[in-house]
Amino acid sequence: MTPVTSSGITAADETHLERAVALARDARDSGDEPFGSLLVTPGGEVLEAVNNIVTAADPTGHAETNLVRLAGRLDPAVRAGSVLYTSTEPCAMCAGAIYWSGIGRIVFALSSEQLGAMIGKPALRLSSREVFERGARPIVIDGPAALRSATEVHAGFWN
């Protein structure tokens, strides 16, 4: 098992998380579930993705998996030095995709436990940390970050 480490959430991280939440709002406004993610490379390139499971009729169309597909064109060393920011903690499927992509750090706003409490049920009782801890490479994960907007984007959606 590989230890999952934390480096702490900075003000710059919070700015990127706010963008991820704005992407989640865009997904919701488009008729999809409110989840958004972005990847920031060491060189400052930014890739963005939203959840599109409804509009694309793709149950794997979570924001993080869509982002991993976009990041696949990047050099593996670039992915390893990149940070994935997401509005909500990655589910087990997304955590697996992130792990296999080689992305080096994940930062999330709303935890899966917090989301489960809002919707009344957890989707899958397996945290991203548990997935990453089973891997053979180190990964840094930071979250949850206390952002009011990350909770607000879900308000009234799951009723």
pTM exceeds 0.85 for this model: yes
45 is catalytic: no
- Among candidate residues 33, 48, 64, 89, the one labeled active-site is 64
Q: Which two three-digit tokens encode residue 28?
A: 């919701």
**Beta-bridge partners for 5:** 140
Residue 80 CA to its chain's centroid (Å): 16
User: Over 60: is that where the pLDDT of 96 sits?
Assistant: yes
Residues 88/90/48/141 CA torsion (nearest 10 deg): 90
At 15-42, the pLDDT tens digits run 999 999 999 999 999 999 999 999 999 9
pLDDT recorded at residue 134: 92
Q: Report yes or no: 51 and 86 within 8 Å, Cβ to Cβ.
A: no
The residues, any chain, with a CB within 8 Å of residue 52's CB and separated by 6 or more, are 27, 30, 32, 58, 61, 66
